[in-house]
Amino acid sequence: MAQTVGGGRNKLWSSARLAVADISDGAVVLVGGFGDVGVPFRLLDALAAHTARGLTVVSNNCGTGERGLAALFKAGLVSKACASFPSQSGNHHFKAAFDRGEVELELIPQGTLAERIRCAGAGLGGFYTRTGFGTELADGHQTREINGVRYILELPLRGDVALISADVADEAGNLRFRRSARNFNPVMAMAAGLTIVQVNRIIPVGALDPDDVHLPGVFVDRLVELTSP
Amino acid sequence: MSPKAGWALDEIAARIARDLEPGSCVNLGIGMPIRVGAHLDPAAGVILTSENGLIGIGPPPEPNRHDPDVIDAGKGPVTLLPGASVLDHADAFALIRGGRLDVGVLGAFQVSQRGDLASWRRPTEPLGSVGGAMDIAVGARKRYAVMMHCDKSGEPKIVQYCTYPLTAPRCVNRIYTDMAVIDVTEQGLVVREIHPGLSLADLRAVTGASLLPLAAN
């Protein structure tokens, strides 16, 4: 048999339910997506049914309607949310949990959220940014002037688990994303101890040209195809 | 008594569209700013970008023809022009903070006379949403704020000092409202243009900071 990257280590999981079953209470879960685009709905629905409690979710938004993140808030499974834009319309389950005092919110500027996650994935200890300087979101942050510009220190944000949505994967876990569904997914996939990906379509290893891979499979632990239960 | 004359939202958007340099790279914020896109002259080649990684946004899609994976910062459906490209979120904000974004058009609750911007939380609400506004406010080479001149209760939104939490201090270069176009300068707020139905005195009556007339030179 011809040699392939990863030697055919099996990353394919037969169901979303099994793929998320070992997420434990109190886990920090990075969740890809922006609005409803690029959100790993299947994995989130499985997580809501699995009922790990006291989760910290890191996501740009806090879910809309009844599915996905909204289902986690509805089920009372989240104790903290790290987000840049939690107050979008249709977020009634997050809003209710926030108003009841069940959920702590860490509001993070969107670019800082993305860069803190990137920083964790890149093995860095933090970064200085102008974003937020002179605002209440800089409270408690170290500041520093570099070449006459004032910055605040931001620290990496790492996940125990990343729940990711991608368009195409090969069996080695190499991923391609589609249009604005890419958003936070690649940086989050690089910044967690366990990266679980729901994917529209899985193709044989070698079917993706190396130059066309958006995220190499070394960052991917588990794949669930959307046709799976 | 507040004057009634004012531009409609699409007239404000068209005014902003005219001020965008051909070929410039522009980010339109959620709310009023996003309207600007529909008023751009395609021949001007303004490059519309979105914080969620799209570069080269085109006109809105035809009804029932939208691609669910192609949305802008306001989560509404958009299209991509030939030559468009996609970045992940970290790189999309590298573009914003790194000096490649020529203009950021931002919605606002308040703007102060020295250009402080407040746009992400009303003091009466515990829950705010900052999105990409703080990054765009420090990262774009020029920052335009767009808002109604007064709030719903008639209070001025251009003020000496912001009473709402800041998005960024000293960042706004120009303010577009339904009543005027005002530049933030070292000397203070300079009225560049005023709705034809209003006098400078009318405008001053609904503005919470000093306004300077455009120097006649």
Spell out the alpha helix ranges (H) of chain B. Answer: 9-19, 89-97, 133-139, 200-205
Whether residues B50 and A115 touch (CB distance < 8 A) is answered with no
Per-residue confidence band for B1, with pLDDT thresholds at 50, 70 and 90? very low
The lowest-confidence range among A1-5, A60-64, A105-109, A146-150 is A1-5
* CB contact B127 to A (< 8 Å): yes
Domain boundaries, chain A: 24-107+158-225
Facing A130 at nearest CB: one of B88, B133, B138: B138
Q: How far apart are CA B19 and CA A161, in angstroms?
A: 46
CA-CA-CA-CA torsion sign (B170, B174, B178, B180): positive
pLDDT of residue A88: 86
Level-2 CATH architecture, domain B9-61+70-213: 3-Layer(aba) Sandwich (3.40)
Residue given tokens 């366990």 in the structure block: A194
* CB contact B161 to A (< 8 Å): no
Give the mean pLDDT of A94-102. Answer: 96
* CB contact A200 to B (< 8 Å): no
Residue B217 has pLDDT above 50, yes or no: no
Whether residues A187 and B169 touch (CB distance < 8 A) is answered with no
Give the mean pLDDT of B150-179. Answer: 98
pLDDT of residue B57: 97
pLDDT of residue A7: 76
By the 10 Å C-beta count (0-12 exposed, 13-18 middle, 19+ buried), B212 is classed as middle
Give me chain A's average pLDDT, please: 96
Give the mean pLDDT of A8-12. Answer: 86
Give the mean pLDDT of B67-82. Answer: 95
ipTM associated with this complex = 0.96
Determine the residue of chain A that is closest to B54 in CA distance: A180
* CATH no. for A24-107+158-225: 3.40.1080.10
* CB contact A133 to B (< 8 Å): yes
Residue B106 has pLDDT above 90, yes or no: yes
Helix (H, G, I), strand (E, B) or coil at B22: coil
Give the mean pLDDT of B142-167. Answer: 98
pLDDT of residue A194: 98
Q: Which residues of B are catalytic?
A: 51
Q: How far apart are CA B77 and CA B69, in angstroms?
A: 8
CA-CA-CA-CA torsion sign (B86, B89, B91, B92): positive
Helix (H, G, I), strand (E, B) or coil at A211: helix
Whether residues B69 and A135 touch (CB distance < 8 A) is answered with no
> CB within 8 A of B72, min separation 6: which ones?
B28, B34, B50, B52, B54, B57, B78
User: How far B184 CA sits from the closest chain A CA (Å)?
Assistant: 19
Residue A27 has pLDDT above 80, yes or no: yes
**From residue B178, how far is each of A76, B37, B38, B182, B206 by CA, in Å?**
44, 18, 18, 11, 12
Whether residues A111 and B86 touch (CB distance < 8 A) is answered with no
* CB contact B67 to A (< 8 Å): yes
Determine the residue of chain B that is closest to A115 in CA distance: B90
Q: How far apart are CA B189 and CA A130, in angstroms?
A: 25
